Each structure stands twice: as structure tokens, then as C-alpha cells.
Amino acid sequence: MAKKYAKIWIWMQNNRLLKAVSNQNSGTLTIYDESDKVLLRRTGLTRQQVKRIELIFSNNCIKRVGDHREPFTYL
């Protein structure tokens, strides 16, 4: 099984559940709403930029879903 490099983040904002998927290897960040509609997609980011975004997420108490979970199966 291939190792997955995506990290999944969840948080509440204005009574809405938002989810973000960051991937350092591909340099992408995608933010979804509670209906899994894409709100924002950024590609072509460097590893440092993705790490910086992940650090901002963790500093703002955004919950990271564990590595053993498949995307969005926890809801």
C-alpha cells in the first residue's frame, strides 16, 4: 500500500464545517465545505508554503484528523 502524504484538517466557521486537505509532495491545498464542494484550491505551492499553512492551522486550534483515516469517512 502506498503511503499517503495528505493531511486532513477540520474546523467550524460561522456555523459551517470546513475541511482542508494539504499535500506537501504535490504542493496542493484544497478547502471544502460541509457538502464537499470545493471552496478554494491552490496548486503549485512549495513544501515550505504548505508547511507554513499547516503551522497556521495548528496554531489556530484547527483539528487534524489522524493519519489512519480515509478522507471524510469520520463524519
Report the pLDDT value the prediction gives residue 75, as an integer from 0 to 100.
47
pLDDT truncated to tens, each residue of the chain (75 aa)? 345 688 999 999 999 999 999 999 999 999 999 999 999 999 999 999 999 999 999 888 888 886 555 555 544
Range of the domain at 50: 6-65
Report the pLDDT value the prediction gives residue 38, as an integer from 0 to 100.
96
**Domain count for the chain:** 1
Q: Which pTM value belongs to this model?
A: 0.77
1 within a domain of the structure (yes/no) = no
Report the pLDDT value the prediction gives residue 65, as an integer from 0 to 100.
80
Strands 38-42, 28-32: pairing kind: antiparallel
Report the pLDDT value the prediction gives residue 70, as an integer from 0 to 100.
56
Q: Assess contact for 17 and 34: CB atoms under 8 A.
A: yes
Give Cα separations from 62 to 44, 56, 65 (angstroms). 23, 9, 10
